[in-house]
Amino acid sequence: MKDDFIMSPKVDFAFKEIMRDETVRKGFLSAVLGIKDTKIKSTVMFNTNLPKIHDDEKQGILDVRLTMNDNTEIDIEIQLAYMKSWADRSTFYLSKMLVEQIGINKKYTNIKKCIGINILDFDYIRQTKRFHTVYHVSEDTEHIKYTDVLEWHIVELPKLPSMPDGSDLYNWVKFINSQSKEDFKMLANENIYLKAAYEQLEIISQDEQKRLEYTARQKALYDYNTIVEENFERGREQERNALIEKMRAKGYTDEQIRELLE
């Protein structure tokens, strides 16, 4: 029997499950990459998970690895907790995808474009309020593109404005941010791709085994995020205590220190 339970697409397990549907993949990529859906003839999804390489990463990141009909390779990741080294990390993995293309007797001219789509549930690019930014390797002064084989798309979920901008990507980000069936149903009316995404979300949400996997993944992410937040607060407290000791050493009274730190 159906109930009102619905998974959150923010949880990478749920996101990866709905991306198993080719119609969903086509609509999402069209929205993020800003290309017509008719240009995406086909996509192939691979079952690959990214390993943990640093202690500040969550165990076994569930990425979505795709290849498009023009052989462009794409890696999609969702990261919920703040990670200071995210830019370095995403650059490492995208470069690794590039290196993996070069085998014995392969030429550099055969290298295919690699695109990283990073969906972040925190503010990372502080220099802009835009929720979607795109990066390439370019010359510093005249911004001449050096190569087109590497491309990063950063989608910051908290930056989504309350007023729609009319783009398909806006609706996709709103879909990922949604928490209720009512919101999902409303967005499903926008286009066939969001409708397909909602249908897949409903299917996996009613699958008993997938619900168990989803719950386990959600708990693992919650535990990880809690540890990150606790370490952050502990670090702030240590910095504050160190500052107080320095101020005392310089002759500040406790009252002066309290006033300055308020």
Domains of the chain, by residue range, sit at 12-206, 208-262
pLDDT per residue over 192-249, tens digit each? 999 999 999 999 999 999 999 999 888 887 777 676 666 666 777 787 888 888 888 8
Strands 73-79 and 132-138: unpaired
Distance CA 3, CA 11 (A): 20
Global pTM? 0.82
Half-sphere exposure of 25 (CA within 13 A, CB side): 22
If you ran DSSP here, which 8-state letter would residue 159 be given?
A: G
Backbone angles phi and psi of 15, in degrees to 5? -60, -45
Are 172 and 138 in contact, with CB atoms under 8 Å apart?
no
pLDDT per residue over 125-169, tens digit each? 999 999 999 999 999 999 999 999 999 999 999 999 999 898 999
pLDDT per residue over 66-75, tens digit each? 999 999 999 9
Distance CA 118, CA 106 (A): 29
- Structure-derived torsion over alpha carbons of residues 23, 25, 27, 33, reported in degrees to the nearest 10: -150
